[in-house]
Structure 1
């Protein structure tokens, strides 16, 4: 049995626990994640939604296209996102995890949008667009298709 992975917001009003190992750990350089996090790059830890339980009553949601981002309604900490194009998956902000050092990213996504002054000298694979396949006929909240072209 895998030990539970826990996390939450800055003030403790939102807590969560994942009962399995993550299926995805990555950096994302897209503009939408940058705006949602306020950071030049985001890192995410992905689990199946049926492996996750939330506690607390402060979790709030913001919907933008197919993506719904969650955050603490008390302190504003970003918590996670779900994408209706990725059924049954939830991606937690790496910084929301209690033990963020445990989750080592395995690749970079949307490096086409990486800020030119941001240098991350690792040997991880770099995807120009998404690192998680989505249906070709759907697009991201910023209006781009999964292949990176504008609609």
Structure 2
């Protein structure tokens, strides 16, 4: 993956974003919170260093839950990104919000102990009981 702009936005176009560097992490998440936030049985995120990501549009809203703040478009409600206070230098973009989502192949599964029993993803990617990116106050297993 190159350092060319990585772009995306919400469904209605009121929020746009761009990252000027390649992502450092791409992962599926099976946790309960991501399911609720995204309305899907599994979510996927593209992680970038926050300093290289810009957001355009004034309709971006956020919902905070503990150390995590999830952003979404205030017009169409599309999930856009999340930040985690424990990973202050990173922003995690919803893979489905990327303009070219097929270019971002996940390399891990996170929170597999919360994976729904009918979701079958027969790949050989590493599977983590908790986070796929360790938090300073949490362990990965």
Q: How is 1:22-61 mapped onto 2 (pairs within 5 angstroms)?
A: 22-61=23-62
Indicate the residue corresponding to 1:10 in structure 2. 11
In structure 1, distance between residues paired with 2:136 and 2:91: 17
User: Taking structure 1 as the reference length, what is the TM-score of the superposition?
Assistant: 0.89
Indicate the residue corresponding to 2:113 in structure 1. 112
Q: How is 1:1-150 mapped onto 2 (pairs within 5 angstroms)?
A: 2-136=3-137, 146-147=138-139
How far has the Cα of 1:147 moved from its partner?
4.5
Q: Deviations over 1:28-61 (max 9, x none)?
A: 0000000000000000000011000111111001
In structure 2, distance between residues paired with 1:65 and 1:107: 24
The size of the alignment, in residue pairs, is 140
In structure 2, distance between residues paired with 1:128 and 1:2: 31
User: Taking structure 2 as the reference length, what is the TM-score of the superposition?
Assistant: 0.96
Structure 1 unaligned spans of 5+: 137-145
DSSP-derived class of the 2:54 partner: strand
DSSP-derived class of the 1:85 partner: helix
How far has the Cα of 1:3 moved from its partner?
1.1
Query: Could you tell me whether the CA contact under 8 Å between 2:67 and 2:85 is conserved in 1?
Result: yes
Q: Deviations over 1:41-99 (max 9, x none)?
A: 00000001100011111100111100000000000000000000001100000000000
In structure 2, distance between residues paired with 1:8 and 1:128: 30
In structure 1, distance between residues paired with 2:48 and 2:131: 17
Moved segments of 4+, more than 2 Å: 146-149
Structure 2 unaligned spans of 5+: none
Indicate the residue corresponding to 1:139 in structure 2. none
CA RMSD, 1 decimal: 1.4
